[in-house]
Copies of this chain bind each other. A is one copy, B any other.
Amino acid sequence: MLTTVSNKTSELQGKLITFMEEYIYPNEELYEKQLNAMESRWNIPPIMEELKERAKEHGLWNLFNREEGYGTTLSNYDYAHLCEIMGRSLIAPEVFNCNAPDTGNMEVLMKYGTDEQKEKWLNPLLDGSIRSCFTMTEPDVASSDATNIQSHIVREGDEYVINAKKWWSSGAMDPRCDIAIFMGKTDPHGPRHEQQSMVLVPMDTPGVEIKRHLPVFGYDHAPHGHAEIHFNDVRVPVSNLIYKEGKGFEIAQSRLGPGRIHHCMRAIGAAERAIELLCRRAAEREAFGTPLAEKGVIREIVAESRMEIDQARLLTLHAAQKMDQEGAKAARKEIAMIKVIAPRISLNVIDRAIQVFGGAGVTEDFPLAAHWANARTLRIVDGPDQVHLRDIGKLEFKKYL
């Protein structure tokens, strides 16, 4: 079958599905309850750390690792299947240490980090004892065009001095967030794609100021949150540079491909959860004398949802496989396509489910509204749809010009 996976992955799939049913779904409500019971929502509900331990015990930890010497070394294609399962619950990815942006940050450190950097930050991240964030987007420019970035990183002696306003640093509100990967310009007048660098900035460095958290359609996404962070004369040793000066754009690109596969497969998982909830609800409610499940209009929205999901999944798996086999650059059209399609169809399916649930659909009684808000942001993060459509169009035209 087009969607056949390796035996190892198949086994992980099975274990993951069981784990979701035994530990994740039954604890979603508890997680929320514990969070609400704490003094501030920027604390970690104890159930999370318990679940993480449980996941380690089950061998469901760091499933994402694909660099030699680190963990499972699944292909993107194989791991994609696991992402879909995790994506069914908003609390799941962290349980398996597979959540954004930590996975992307770990990948960067595995690939480009010095031994010292790995020791200090990669190991605790792999262990799940600290969390991290990634600071790139800026409030004052259209971030759809990455070359718009304005922050400067200036070398002074053995230090980099950073001044910047960043926002949408996801996970930065988390009390365990110890380290940020900062992206800014070391050479504002250099060639367009060599102006930027990445530097590691410990969150407790003087001058790192968390201005506020950014809500998403009313959700605070606590305890991780999305932060606006100001960097005021922040100084870090030059040894905190990742790889080389001017390589920021290149490193950013390298993390995008896998990251998008993960995001998209999780969005597809959310859609699968929604269609399941929709069907179960429609089967138990009736209106105008017949169960919703027997109404033609409900069957049609279920059918449209199934067609959208199955197509999006195949497209995403195809992109993952192409990336595995030919590299991220060869697969960039495919990756751009899934970046548009997966959130789009996930939103469609969840929206239809909400409609079937009526008022219950927009509340927190079911995970639909929260999943929707999450998927909605995916149409913006890593570039809005419009930018990807433009790229896809350009790449398509290249065939004929």
A341 to B297, Cβ gap below 8 A? no
CB-CB nearest in chain B for A351: B376
A280 to B400, Cβ gap below 8 A? yes
A377 interface contact, C-beta 8 A: yes
B304 to A389, Cβ gap below 8 A? yes
Interface residues on chain A, size class? 35 or more
B355 to A385, Cβ gap below 8 A? yes
A359 to B288, Cβ gap below 8 A? no
A70: chain B residues within 8 A (beta carbon) = none
A234 interface contact, C-beta 8 A: no
- Give the contacting residue for A293; candidates B304, B386, B389, B397; CB below 8 A: B397
CB-CB nearest in chain B for A287: B145
A354: chain B residues within 8 A (beta carbon) = 376, 380
Q: From residue A135, how far is it (CB to closest CB) to chain B in Å?
A: 13
A325 to B1, Cβ gap below 8 A? yes
Q: A283-B397, A287-B144 are in contact. Are A303 and B218 (CB under 8 A)?
A: no
A299 interface contact, C-beta 8 A: yes
Q: In the complex, what distance in Å separates the CA atom of A254 from the CA atom of B218?
A: 34
A282: chain B residues within 8 A (beta carbon) = 397
Segment at the B interface, from A100-108, A124-132, A305-313: A305-313
Q: From residue A325, how far is it (CB to closest CB) to chain B in Å?
A: 7
- Give the contacting residue for A139; candidates B141, B360, B399; CB below 8 A: B360
Question: Which A residues, 354 to 401, have Cβ-Cβ distances below 8 Å to chain B?
Answer: 354-355, 358-364, 369-370, 372-373, 376-377, 379-381, 384-394, 396-397, 399-401
Q: From residue A91, how far is it (CB to closest CB) to chain B in Å?
A: 16
A167 interface contact, C-beta 8 A: yes
Q: A317-B2, A373-B218 are in contact. Are A298 and B142 (CB under 8 A)?
A: no
A143 interface contact, C-beta 8 A: yes
Q: From residue A381, how far is it (CB to closest CB) to chain B in Å?
A: 8
- Give the contacting residue for A299; candidates B143, B322, B385, B389; CB below 8 A: B389
A151 interface contact, C-beta 8 A: no
Segment at the B interface, from A9-17, A60-68, A193-201, A209-217: A209-217
A355 to B386, Cβ gap below 8 A? yes
A325: chain B residues within 8 A (beta carbon) = 1
Copies of the protein in its oligomer: 4
Q: From residue A144, how far is it (CB to closest CB) to chain B in Å?
A: 5
A216 to B362, Cβ gap below 8 A? yes
**Binary flags per residue of A271-311, CB closer than 8 Å to B gives 1, else 0:** 00001100110110111100011011111111110110011
A249 interface contact, C-beta 8 A: no
Q: From residue A394, how far is it (CB to closest CB) to chain B in Å?
A: 6
Question: Which A residues, 116 to 174, have Cβ-Cβ distances below 8 Å to chain B?
Answer: 137, 139, 141-145, 148, 167-168
A300 to B380, Cβ gap below 8 A? no
- Give the contacting residue for A215; candidates B218, B295, B301, B312; CB below 8 A: B218
A3 interface contact, C-beta 8 A: yes
A255 interface contact, C-beta 8 A: no
A20 interface contact, C-beta 8 A: no
- Give the contacting residue for A288; candidates B145, B275, B384, B389; CB below 8 A: B145
Q: A300-B390, A301-B393 are in contact. List 11 more A-B contacts (CB 8 A).
A: A2-B314, A142-B358, A215-B363, A217-B219, A217-B362, A218-B219, A282-B397, A295-B296, A299-B394, A302-B393, A302-B397
Q: Nearest 3 A-B pairs (CB), nearest first?
A: A299-B393, A218-B218, A218-B219
Residues of A within 8 A of B (CB): 1-3, 137, 139, 141-145, 148, 167-168, 214-220, 275-276, 279-280, 282-283, 285-288, 292-293, 295-304, 306-307, 310-312, 314-315, 317-318, 321-322, 325, 333-334, 337, 340-341, 354-355, 358-364, 369-370, 372-373, 376-377, 379-381, 384-394, 396-397, 399-401
Query: 9 interchain pairs (CB within 8 A)?
Result: A2-B2, A142-B287, A216-B363, A218-B373, A296-B386, A302-B392, A303-B388, A310-B334, A311-B311
